[in-house]
Amino acid sequence: MADIAFLRFANAFHDRLKDIGYSLRRAEHQWPDTDRAMLSRAINAKTLSAGNYLLLCEMAGLDPYAYLERPPHRRVTLKSIAEQMVTPSATRETEGAR
């Protein structure tokens, strides 16, 4: 399952604000769809909703796909299935007793 690398995004977002000369207060003023709490969460690598993440990427001119992390794809084969651990069967104390 893919996830957003919020730490990398936070660093890039912070660098972008510095590049354009925006403080959090100025960014909040220039980007009316944002608020200080949202901007603070972005700078501090906190989880953002998908909508807020995309909004901030758009406002800052960042590519949202640049911070998408995908785990390595693991191909399932008959061999990989055969090599999986299986719980060994065990005899039970009551087995066979009637």
Residue 43 lies in a domain: yes
Does residue 57 lie within any of the structural domains? yes
Q: In the structure encoding, which two tokens stand for residue 57, read together?
A: 């990427």
Residue 33 lies in a domain: yes
pLDDT of residue 40 exceeding 80: yes
Write out pLDDT tens, residues 42-78: 999 999 999 999 999 999 999 999 999 987 777 777 7
What's the chain's average pLDDT? 87
CATH number at residue 17: 1.10.260.40
**Listed residue (69, 48, 70) closest to 13, CA to CA:** 48
> How far apart (Å, rounded) are the C-alpha atoms in residues 83 and 44?
42
pLDDT at 85: 65
Domain, as residue range, for 14: 3-69
